[in-house]
Amino acid sequence: MFRAAVFALFALLPVRGFAEAAPYLFVAVQERDEVDRIVIRNTGDCALAAGLVVLDMRPSQGSVVIDTAVGGRGTKDAWPVRVVTGPVRLARPVPDGSQVLILDIETLVPGQSAQLTLDIDNERAWFRAGRIAIRNTDLRDSLARFTPRGGTPVTVAFGDTASVALSLPETACASGDGTPTTTPLG
Protein backbone atom coordinates (compact mmCIF):
# COMPACT_ATOMS: atom_id res chain seq x y z
CA MET A 1 0.00 0.00 0.00
CA PHE A 2 2.81 2.40 0.89
CA ARG A 3 4.55 1.70 -2.45
CA ALA A 4 1.34 2.39 -4.35
CA ALA A 5 0.90 5.71 -2.53
CA VAL A 6 4.51 6.78 -3.25
CA PHE A 7 4.17 5.76 -6.89
CA ALA A 8 0.90 7.72 -7.20
CA LEU A 9 2.54 10.78 -5.65
CA PHE A 10 5.48 10.67 -8.09
CA ALA A 11 3.12 10.11 -11.00
CA LEU A 12 1.53 13.49 -10.25
CA LEU A 13 4.82 15.39 -10.40
CA PRO A 14 5.75 17.00 -13.73
CA VAL A 15 8.66 15.26 -15.41
CA ARG A 16 10.77 17.75 -17.32
CA GLY A 17 12.84 16.56 -20.21
CA PHE A 18 10.69 13.63 -21.26
CA ALA A 19 7.48 15.21 -22.55
CA GLU A 20 8.90 18.53 -23.63
CA ALA A 21 10.58 19.30 -26.90
CA ALA A 22 14.26 20.08 -27.20
CA PRO A 23 14.94 22.79 -29.77
CA TYR A 24 18.29 22.67 -31.58
CA LEU A 25 19.53 24.60 -34.57
CA PHE A 26 22.49 23.39 -36.63
CA VAL A 27 24.43 25.90 -38.77
CA ALA A 28 27.13 24.75 -41.20
CA VAL A 29 29.34 26.58 -43.67
CA GLN A 30 30.36 24.30 -46.52
CA GLU A 31 33.36 25.24 -48.66
CA ARG A 32 32.81 24.04 -52.21
CA ASP A 33 34.85 24.31 -55.41
CA GLU A 34 32.34 26.39 -57.35
CA VAL A 35 30.14 28.05 -54.77
CA ASP A 36 29.96 27.81 -50.99
CA ARG A 37 26.86 26.93 -48.95
CA ILE A 38 25.33 27.71 -45.63
CA VAL A 39 22.95 25.09 -44.25
CA ILE A 40 20.61 25.84 -41.37
CA ARG A 41 18.76 22.79 -40.04
CA ASN A 42 16.30 22.23 -37.24
CA THR A 43 17.75 19.15 -35.53
CA GLY A 44 15.39 19.39 -32.56
CA ASP A 45 11.98 17.86 -32.05
CA CYS A 46 9.80 20.97 -32.11
CA ALA A 47 9.04 23.52 -34.80
CA LEU A 48 11.24 26.56 -34.24
CA ALA A 49 9.63 29.96 -33.89
CA ALA A 50 10.31 32.51 -36.60
CA GLY A 51 13.28 34.75 -35.91
CA LEU A 52 16.67 35.97 -37.04
CA VAL A 53 19.75 33.88 -37.72
CA VAL A 54 22.96 35.93 -37.72
CA LEU A 55 26.33 34.67 -38.90
CA ASP A 56 28.96 37.15 -37.66
CA MET A 57 32.41 36.49 -39.09
CA ARG A 58 34.04 39.71 -37.82
CA PRO A 59 35.83 37.86 -34.98
CA SER A 60 36.97 35.05 -37.33
CA GLN A 61 40.58 33.90 -37.19
CA GLY A 62 40.84 33.81 -40.98
CA SER A 63 39.70 37.32 -42.01
CA VAL A 64 36.66 35.76 -43.64
CA VAL A 65 34.44 37.90 -45.90
CA ILE A 66 31.46 37.39 -48.19
CA ASP A 67 32.54 38.02 -51.79
CA THR A 68 29.64 39.34 -53.87
CA ALA A 69 31.44 41.51 -56.47
CA VAL A 70 34.41 40.86 -58.75
CA GLY A 71 37.26 43.21 -57.90
CA GLY A 72 35.94 43.92 -54.41
CA ARG A 73 37.19 42.85 -51.03
CA GLY A 74 36.92 39.16 -51.79
CA THR A 75 39.20 37.34 -54.17
CA LYS A 76 38.75 35.80 -57.61
CA ASP A 77 35.26 34.26 -57.88
CA ALA A 78 32.38 36.39 -56.61
CA TRP A 79 28.87 35.04 -56.06
CA PRO A 80 25.72 36.79 -54.80
CA VAL A 81 24.02 35.42 -51.71
CA ARG A 82 21.03 33.37 -52.87
CA VAL A 83 18.43 31.34 -51.01
CA VAL A 84 18.28 27.85 -52.51
CA THR A 85 15.72 26.13 -50.26
CA GLY A 86 13.77 26.67 -47.10
CA PRO A 87 11.72 29.34 -45.38
CA VAL A 88 14.44 31.98 -45.18
CA ARG A 89 15.18 35.35 -46.77
CA LEU A 90 17.91 37.94 -46.46
CA ALA A 91 16.99 40.41 -43.71
CA ARG A 92 19.14 43.03 -45.43
CA PRO A 93 21.29 43.25 -48.57
CA VAL A 94 24.77 41.75 -48.36
CA PRO A 95 27.38 44.14 -49.78
CA ASP A 96 30.72 42.89 -51.06
CA GLY A 97 33.20 42.33 -48.25
CA SER A 98 30.51 41.97 -45.60
CA GLN A 99 31.33 39.88 -42.58
CA VAL A 100 27.79 39.70 -41.21
CA LEU A 101 24.91 37.76 -42.75
CA ILE A 102 21.44 38.32 -41.27
CA LEU A 103 18.64 35.97 -42.24
CA ASP A 104 14.95 36.22 -41.47
CA ILE A 105 13.76 32.68 -40.96
CA GLU A 106 10.19 31.45 -40.74
CA THR A 107 9.15 28.44 -38.72
CA LEU A 108 11.39 25.41 -39.33
CA VAL A 109 9.78 22.06 -38.55
CA PRO A 110 11.94 19.23 -37.20
CA GLY A 111 14.34 17.98 -39.86
CA GLN A 112 13.68 20.93 -42.18
CA SER A 113 16.60 22.95 -43.48
CA ALA A 114 17.29 26.14 -45.34
CA GLN A 115 20.24 26.47 -47.72
CA LEU A 116 21.97 29.47 -49.21
CA THR A 117 24.73 29.76 -51.78
CA LEU A 118 27.43 32.41 -51.58
CA ASP A 119 31.17 32.90 -51.91
CA ILE A 120 33.11 33.12 -48.66
CA ASP A 121 36.75 34.07 -48.96
CA ASN A 122 39.72 34.27 -46.66
CA GLU A 123 41.36 37.64 -47.26
CA ARG A 124 44.69 36.01 -46.50
CA ALA A 125 44.24 34.13 -49.81
CA TRP A 126 44.80 30.47 -48.99
CA PHE A 127 44.90 28.67 -52.34
CA ARG A 128 43.71 25.14 -53.04
CA ALA A 129 44.12 23.89 -56.60
CA GLY A 130 44.53 27.43 -57.87
CA ARG A 131 41.36 28.67 -56.16
CA ILE A 132 40.80 30.77 -53.09
CA ALA A 133 39.35 28.64 -50.31
CA ILE A 134 38.64 28.88 -46.63
CA ARG A 135 39.67 26.25 -44.16
CA ASN A 136 37.39 25.16 -41.33
CA THR A 137 39.70 26.81 -38.82
CA ASP A 138 39.37 30.17 -40.63
CA LEU A 139 35.85 30.41 -39.16
CA ARG A 140 37.11 29.90 -35.59
CA ASP A 141 35.58 32.51 -33.25
CA SER A 142 32.89 33.49 -35.78
CA LEU A 143 29.47 33.64 -34.14
CA ALA A 144 26.14 32.04 -34.98
CA ARG A 145 23.14 33.60 -33.25
CA PHE A 146 19.43 32.75 -33.27
CA THR A 147 16.90 35.20 -31.88
CA PRO A 148 13.27 34.08 -31.92
CA ARG A 149 10.87 36.98 -32.45
CA GLY A 150 10.29 38.50 -29.05
CA GLY A 151 12.73 36.07 -27.47
CA THR A 152 16.21 35.93 -26.05
CA PRO A 153 19.16 35.43 -28.43
CA VAL A 154 21.39 32.37 -28.18
CA THR A 155 24.94 32.73 -29.52
CA VAL A 156 27.58 30.06 -30.11
CA ALA A 157 31.14 30.57 -31.37
CA PHE A 158 32.60 28.37 -34.10
CA GLY A 159 35.51 26.17 -33.07
CA ASP A 160 37.80 24.26 -35.43
CA THR A 161 34.92 22.95 -37.51
CA ALA A 162 32.75 24.88 -39.92
CA SER A 163 29.57 24.03 -38.03
CA VAL A 164 27.87 24.78 -34.73
CA ALA A 165 24.83 23.48 -32.87
CA LEU A 166 22.76 25.95 -30.91
CA SER A 167 20.91 24.50 -27.94
CA LEU A 168 17.89 26.76 -27.64
CA PRO A 169 15.49 27.42 -24.77
CA GLU A 170 12.09 25.76 -24.92
CA THR A 171 10.57 29.16 -25.63
CA ALA A 172 12.24 28.98 -29.09
CA CYS A 173 9.63 26.38 -30.08
CA ALA A 174 6.88 27.79 -32.27
CA SER A 175 4.35 26.95 -29.56
CA GLY A 176 6.48 28.97 -27.12
CA ASP A 177 6.18 26.42 -24.32
CA GLY A 178 8.32 23.53 -25.49
CA THR A 179 5.37 21.47 -26.68
CA PRO A 180 6.28 19.36 -29.71
CA THR A 181 4.44 20.64 -32.74
CA THR A 182 3.37 18.51 -35.64
CA THR A 183 3.16 19.27 -39.32
CA PRO A 184 -0.01 18.19 -41.13
CA LEU A 185 0.63 15.60 -43.83
CA GLY A 186 -0.32 16.30 -47.43
| Cβ neighbours for 131, distance < 8 A, ≥ 6 positions apart | 33, 76, 77
Backbone phi and psi for residue 3, each to the nearest 5 degrees, phi listed first = -60, -40
Q: What is the pLDDT of residue 186?
A: 29
Give me the residue spans of the domains in the chain: 19-160
Quick one: 19-160 is in which CATH superfamily? Answer: Mu homology domain, subdomain B (2.60.40.1170)
Q: What is the pLDDT of residue 21?
A: 57
pTM: 0.79
Query: Residues 134, 94, 52, 181: is their CA dihedral positive or negative?
Result: negative
- Provide the H-helix boundaries in 15-119: none
| Cβ neighbours for 84, distance < 8 A, ≥ 6 positions apart | 37, 115, 116, 117
Q: Provide the residue-wise pLDDT of the chain in tens; the chain has 186 residues.
A: 444 443 333 333 333 343 455 789 999 999 887 789 999 999 999 999 999 999 999 999 878 899 998 877 766 678 999 999 999 999 999 999 999 999 999 999 999 999 999 998 887 655 554 456 677 788 899 999 999 998 899 999 999 999 999 999 988 998 754 444 433 322
